Structure 1
Amino acid sequence: MRLTGSRAMRRRLVLAGCGGMGRRHMRAYRTLEDFEPGRLELAAVVDREIERAEFLAGEAEEILGSRPACFTSIEDAIAATPDLDVVDVVVAAAAHHVVVETATAAGLHVLCEKPMAPGVRACRAMQSAAERNGRVLSIAENYRRDPIARLLRAVLDAGGIGELRTVVDYAAGGGRGASAGGWQFKRVQGGSLLESGVHNADLHLYFGGAIDTVHGQVRLREPLRYFRGEKVKPFHEHYSAEYPESQPADAPDVLLATYEYANGALGQWLYELAAQGPGFNRFTFWGSEGQVDMPGVRQGLPLKVYPGRSKEALPDEEVLALAPDFGLDDRTARFFGGERLARYDNDHSDVGSGADLKLIAIEMAELLDAIEGDGKVEVDAEVGLAAVALVMAAHESSEAGRPVTLQEVVDGSQSSYQDVADRELGLLN
Structure 2
Amino acid sequence: MDTEAPAPPTRRPVRQLLAASVGNAVEWYDWYAYTFLATYIADQVFPKGADNSLVPLLSTFAVFAVGFFMRPVGGLLMGAIADRRGRRAALTVTILLMGGSSLLVGLTPTYAAAGVLAPVVLVLARLLQGLSVGGEFAASTTFLVESAGPGRRGLFSSFQYVSTTAGQLVASGIATLLVDTLSEDRMNGWGWRLPFVFGAVLSLVGFWIRQGAQETRSTEQQRAPRPALFEALRRHPRESLLICGITAGGTIAYYTWTSYLPTYAELNAGVAKSDALLAGTISLAFFGLLQPLGGLLSDRFGRRPLLLFFGVGFALLSVPLLHSLRDSFAVLLLVQCAGMVLLTGFTSISAAVNAEVFPPRVRAAGIGFPYSLTVALFGGTAPYVGTLFKDLGHSGIFPWYVAVLCLLSSLVYLRLPETAHKELRR
Larger strand fraction of residues: 1
- Normalising by the smaller structure, the TM-score range is under 0.3
Q: TM-score, normalised by structure 1?
A: 0.24
TM-score if structure 2 supplies the norm length?
0.25
